[in-house]
Structure formats: structure tokens, C-alpha cells
Amino acid sequence: MGTEMKQFIDLHLHSNCSDGVFSPAELVEMAHRVGLVAIAIADHDSVAGVTEAITTGITAGIEVIPAIELSVQFASWNDVHLLGYGIDHTDCNFLERLVAFRERREKRNVEILDLVNKRLNAEKKEAIQLKDVLASARDSIGRPHIARVLQAKGYVNSTEEAFRRYLSPCNIPKFYWPIDSAINEIRQLGGVAVLAHPVTITDDRRELHGVIAQMQNMGLDGIEVFNNISQPDEMEYLRRFAEERNLLITGGSDFHCSEDSLEMGKGRGGVRFENNLLPPLKKLITERQENARVALL
Ligand code: AMP
Ligand code: ZN
Ligand code: FE
Ligand code: FE
């Protein structure tokens, strides 16, 4: 098949239901403009944007896969990101469980703001206000909301600088789902569990190899081979590793907003995510949904 025939997707976007800037409907429209055929909005601890995205997607002719990004704990790593694809985003028990994670985020947001304001005070800068941080929040609050206020105040020039100078040193833990129970939860919801941007765990290949193998034993289905963090040679390594271990391969940009260096539909080095990643993912989702349905009978 020639390059001109290829179609592209993006399975890792953030909307303003978590720490992205654009609404789910705006993301679908942007995906349409850049020529993508399918997307997944994988908000942190929230599925509030899924229905809006699916509805807009029907009109725009974009396929929308229900998704979420959970922060999970594995061994000594406590902020590992796990993507859940094809989950039942209307399941009441799941929605209730997510509320606790978001409530923790709300409390944590106030605590982080306190620490950031102490720092600003020491630098003789005016404090930032909770109401300004909350002004752009719709469901799940994250540090990028604070980063944007720091930037709007002129205290930093980028999100990266906000993290380096304020948000990394002033971090407060969230709630982290133990990885085995997060994987089980995703599977019981008829979904497929995929490790996001794997090299954020470690860039030591031998160590990452061991970590992913252990996760696969717990039921992990796939890894985000094409992402915005890995260098091209690492993506190639991850692709081969996934093939050897019979893990699903996914790809996504982790796009949050236009100001960052990220672009919708593109990973590091401009890599694009081919539509041929979608059929195996959808096949597994269909199997899981069938299993979840049978389990209810
Ligand atoms: P939180 O969930 O509140 O801890 O915020 C974490 C989110 O902030 C991540 O999902 C990224 O989107 C973003 N983030 C984390 N570290 C950085 C960084 N160094 N520069 C820019 N964005 C970051
Ligand atoms: Zn984020
Ligand atoms: Fe992530
Ligand atoms: Fe993400």
C-alpha cells in the first residue's frame, strides 16, 4: 500500500475534562481537520468526555474509542500511567470509584497551591488564586491547570518551566490504583489495558523488559509503542519487544494543548500512528466486552 493510502489515528488525547485545554467536541473537530480517522480521549481519572466525543465523532465521521488514563502503583513506581480502552464508560460502580480519585486531586490541588504560593512569596511574587486554577477545570484537576496560571501570570514561559521550577518540587501524591486491581477493573469493564509511554518508568531496557513482563503476567494487554517520549530507536525496540511477547501495539501523542511541543496525531520525531493498529485493538475489545457480558449472566 502506498503512503498516500495510509490512514492515521491518535489513541491518547486529553480534553478539558482533565488537564487538556480543548473540549472533547473541539478535539474531534481538530482530528477531522488534521485528517485522522479514529481517536481516543484518555483523560486522567475521568470518562466525562467520552459521550460528547462519540456523539461529535458520529457527525464528523471520526471513530471514537472510549478510554481513560489511570495513575497506578507498581512495585516502587507510584505514578505509572495505564490506559484503558473500550471500557464501559457508563458503569456506575466505576464512575463512583473515579469520584474518590478526583476528590483526592481536589484536596491535593489546594495543598500544591499552598506550597507554590510559599515559593512565590519567597520570590516576592504575588500569590496565585485557587479560583483562577479552577476556572479552566471541568472534571479532573491536575498540575497542568496550575502551570497555565503560572504562565498567564508571566512567572514562567512554558509548562515545562512551570514543572521544573514549581510543580515538580511542590508535588503532593495523588491516589494511585494498585496496578493488578486497575488491570482487573479495566478488563471487567470490557476493556483492554495498555501501558502508556513505557519509558517514563525507566529507560534501562533490561529493567523495562522485566517490568512489562511482570505486568503482562498480571493481565496487561499492550504497550504504547508509538508515543511522545521514546526516541525512534526506542520505539523500534518496543515494537519488536511487543511482537515477541504478543502484546498489543498502540500509539498516541498525549496531546494536551497547542502551546506545548506536542501535536495531535504525531509522536516524538513526528512519527504518525497508522490505522492498522486499530483492528487488533478492536478485536480484543470485542472479546473482552463479550466476556464481561457473559460474566453478568
Ligand atoms: P498530575 O496528574 O496532576 O500529577 O499532572 C501530571 C500531568 O502533568 C502529566 O500527565 C502531564 O500531562 C503533565 N506533566 C508532568 N510532568 C510534566 C513536565 N515536566 N512538563 C510538562 N508537563 C508535565
Ligand atoms: Zn495530563
Ligand atoms: Fe500519561
Ligand atoms: Fe496522558
Assessment of whether the complete model's pTM goes beyond 0.85: yes
| Domain of residue 260, CATH code | 3.20.20.140
Q: Does residue 159 line the site of ligand 1, with CB under 6 A? A: yes
Do 125 and 250 lie in one domain? The reply is no
Do 290 and 204 lie in one domain? The reply is yes
Structural domain ending residue among the three candidates 142, 167, 192: 167
CA of 207 to the centre of ligand 2 (A): 25
Residue 56, Cβ neighbours under 10 Å: how many?
20
* Pocket-testing residue among 14, 110, 163, ligand 1, by greatest number of atoms within 8 A of Cβ: 163
DSSP bridge partners of 64:
39
Decide if 256 is inside a domain.
yes
| Domain of residue 111, CATH code | 1.10.150
Do 197 and 259 lie in one domain? The reply is yes
- Burial label for 184, CB within 10 Å (0-12, 13-18, 19+), is middle
143/104 Cα distance (integer angstroms): 13
Do 137 and 255 lie in one domain? The reply is no
Decide if 1 is inside a domain.
no
Decide if 232 is inside a domain.
yes
**Residue 58 near residue 52, CB atoms below 8 Å:** no
Percentage of residues of the chain with pLDDT beyond 70: 98
Do 151 and 234 lie in one domain? The reply is no
Do 71 and 116 lie in one domain? The reply is no
Do 44 and 182 lie in one domain? The reply is yes
CA proximity to 195, closest of 84, 67, 272? 84
Decide if 31 is inside a domain.
yes
Do 93 and 104 lie in one domain? The reply is no
Q: What is the pLDDT of residue 297?
A: 81
135-182 pLDDT, tens digit each: 999 999 999 999 999 999 999 999 999 999 999 999 999 999 999 999
Decide if 18 is inside a domain.
yes
With both helix axes pointing from N to C terminus, report the angle between 278-296 and 179-188 in degrees, rounded to the nearest 10. 80
Do 52 and 117 lie in one domain? The reply is no
98-112 pLDDT, tens digit each: 999 999 999 999 999
CA of 160 to the centre of ligand 1 (A): 9
Q: How far apart are the first and last CA of the chain?
A: 44
CA of 254 to the centre of ligand 1 (A): 11
Q: What is the pLDDT of residue 292?
A: 85
CA of 20 to the centre of ligand 2 (A): 7
Closest ligand 1 atom to 159 CA: 21
Domain count, the chain: 2
Decide if 2 is inside a domain.
no
DSSP bridge partners of 80:
72
Do 92 and 107 lie in one domain? The reply is no
Decide if 290 is inside a domain.
yes
In order of 42, 83, 115, 155, the CA distances from 69 in angstroms are: 5, 5, 26, 29
263-286 pLDDT, tens digit each: 999 999 999 999 999 999 999 999
Exposure string over 186-199, b if 16+ CB within 10 A, otherwise e: bbbbbbbbbbbbbb
CA of 254 to the centre of ligand 3 (A): 7
In order of 121, 205, 209, 231, 255, the CA distances from 258 in angstroms are: 30, 32, 33, 21, 8
Structural domain ending residue among the three candidates 132, 167, 202: 167
Closest ligand 1 atom to 105 CA: 3
* Pocket-testing residue among 133, 159, 166, ligand 1, by greatest number of atoms within 8 A of Cβ: 159
CA angle, 290 then 9 then 136, to 5°: 95
116-137 pLDDT, tens digit each: 999 999 999 999 999 999 999 9
Q: Does residue 144 line the site of ligand 1, with CB under 6 A? A: yes
Structural domain ending residue among the three candidates 167, 193, 219: 167
Do 282 and 230 lie in one domain? The reply is yes
Do 184 and 275 lie in one domain? The reply is yes
Decide if 3 is inside a domain.
no
- Mean of per-residue pLDDT scores for the chain: 95
CB proximity list for 292: less than 8 A, separation 6 or greater:
88, 187, 188, 189, 190
Enclosing domain of residue 153:
98-167
